[in-house]
Amino acid sequence: MKVLSVVSHPRKDSLTFKVAGRFVQGLADAGHDYEILDLHGIGFDPVLKGVDEPDWSVAEQTFSPEVEMEIKRMKEYDALAFIFPLWWWHLPAMLKGYIDRVLNNGFAYGSNKLHHQHILWLGLAGVSQEQLKKRNYDEMITHLLNVGIADYCGVSNSKVEFLDETLGSNSDHYEMLLDQAYRLGLNYAKD
């Protein structure tokens, strides 16, 4: 299986990128092909402009060259993984903008749906599991990503995983998180 791993973090030396590296190592060890798409690294512009605004009056539309290039890239993969820090109980603005612009009408929803078999949302949370469960943040985020985005775009096999307590300096805990990321890659699409 070919997996596009979309990573959203402004720093290459972040735990988010370390998690991405271990995740794709697991993918490779399981025999999958992958690409890491570093949204900040490619200078992706997350701001939706008029040319990329969904036009509900047409079945298919042409978008900006940047979005058309990302749609073409996505079409080359069987599955998707989004790896990101959880900020304000949501996706970072860069990743939200990528979804707004690229998962657009006529490609991801509307007259066409995504062809991808699986989507994994791997969110790094600075808080504990207990804090994620407070006010049902974990359920709210999971519902938004699995139903509001993935299922709406035709991908019913979507899973959200949280790596929690990412702000401490406990190296044993970090190793556990990295091992969890590796296992998610190694077992990608098995369940």
pLDDT tier for residue 93 given thresholds of 50, 70 and 90: very high
Mean pLDDT calculated for residue range 41-65: 92
**What digits encode the pLDDT tens for the residues 153-190?**
999 999 999 999 998 778 899 999 999 999 999 999 88
Burial status of residue 11 (CB atoms within 10 A of its CB: 0-12, 13-18, 19 or more): exposed
In the sheet with 118-124, reading across from the earlier edge strand, the strands are: 33-38, 2-7, 79-85, 118-124, 158-163
**What value does the mean pLDDT take over residues 70-95?**
97
**Which domains does the chain show, CATH number per domain?**
2-186 (3.40.50.360)
